[in-house]
Amino acid sequence: MRGKIVPIVDLRIKFHLGKVEYNEFTVVIILNLNGRVVGIVVDGVSDVMALKDDHIRDVPSLVTSIDTKYIVGLATLEQRMLILVDIEQLMSSQEMEFLDSEIH
């Protein structure tokens, strides 16, 4: 990563989740998506999990105020409910194209 400028997207800002505060648990995850290196800010990371196909369920069609276009499924694992996000689709949005044009 040395010598590279990496754009960083705070997902709380992207999803309009209120006041952004950074603390000792705030984490930047570095991704390599289609040859593009980008960082995403998340509140924290608790586990890295491997999911099998039988853990993953379709997203129910609920009327909600949450934008579900990036959600690809729900999973349950060890009594935990997980929301699966298509990170490539999320990070290839118009905002990321704007960042690419500003960096190059």
Over residues 50-80, the pLDDT tens digits come to 888 888 888 877 656 666 778 888 898 788 8
| Share of the chain residues as helix, strand and coil, in percent rounded to the nearest 5 | 20, 30, 50
Burial of 66 (0-12, 13-18, 19+ CB in 10 A): exposed
Q: Which residues contact 62 (CB under 8 A, 6 or more apart)?
A: none
Over residues 6-40, the pLDDT tens digits come to 888 888 887 777 788 888 888 999 988 877 888 89
pTM for the model: 0.66
Query: What is residue 69's DSSP assignment?
Result: T
Token pair for 80: 């935990």
State the Cα–Cα distance between residues 60 and 82, nearest whole angstrom: 14
Token pair for 1: 């990563």
